[in-house]
C-alpha cells in the first residue's frame, strides 16, 4: 500500500508517494505557484485557483511516476501552511486574489 502526501505552500505544491511497508519514497512532484506581478511594493497576492490546479498536477505527476494506482493509496495527508485571506461569494467562487502572509497593503489603514 501507498501513502500520498501533499503540501501546499507559498512557493508551490509538493506531492510524494511513500511505500507504507518500506517507507521508501516512490515518487515526488513539485508544481510552483506564481505571485501576481506588477503590484505595488508590499503586496503579496496569489490566485487561489492555481493552488487547486497545482494539487491536481502534482498528484497526477507523482502517481504517474510512481506507477501506483489510485486503489493502492491507503491514506492521504495534506498540509497547508498558507496564512492568508481567501474571499468567496455565496456560490463559493473566488472573489479576488488571496492576500498572503507578509502583505502590508493595508498597513496605512491599520495604523489609522
User: Domain containing 65 — which CATH number?
Assistant: 3.30.420.40
pLDDT tens track, the chain, 112 positions: 899 999 999 899 999 999 989 999 999 999 999 999 999 999 999 999 999 999 999 999 999 999 988 888 999 999 986 778 889 999 999 999 998 888 888 887 888 8
pLDDT in the model for residue 18: 95
Q: Could you count the other beta carbons within 10 Å of the beta carbon of residue 1?
A: 12
Q: Supply the range of the domain harboring residue 92.
A: 2-111
Number of domains in the chain: 1
Amino acid at each position: 500500500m501507498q501513502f500520498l502526501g501533499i503540501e501546499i505552500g507559498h512557493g508551490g505544491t509538493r506531492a510524494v508517494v511513500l511505500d507504507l511497508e518500506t517507507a521508501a519514497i516512490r515518487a515526488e512532484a513539485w508544481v510552483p505557484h506564481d505571485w501576481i506581478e506588477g503590484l505595488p511594493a508590499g503586496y503579496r497576492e496569489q490566485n487561489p485557483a492555481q493552488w487547486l490546479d497545482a494539487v491536481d498536477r502534482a498528484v497526477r505527476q507523482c502517481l504517474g511516476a510512481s506507477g501506483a494506482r489510485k486503489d493502492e493509496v491507503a491514506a492521504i495527508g495534506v498540509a497547508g501552511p498558507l496564512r492568508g485571506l481567501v474571499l468567496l461569494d455565496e456560490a463559493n467562487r473566488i472573489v479576488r486574489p488571496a492576500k498572503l502572509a507578509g502583505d502590508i497593503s493595508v498597513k496605512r489603514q491599520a495604523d489609522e
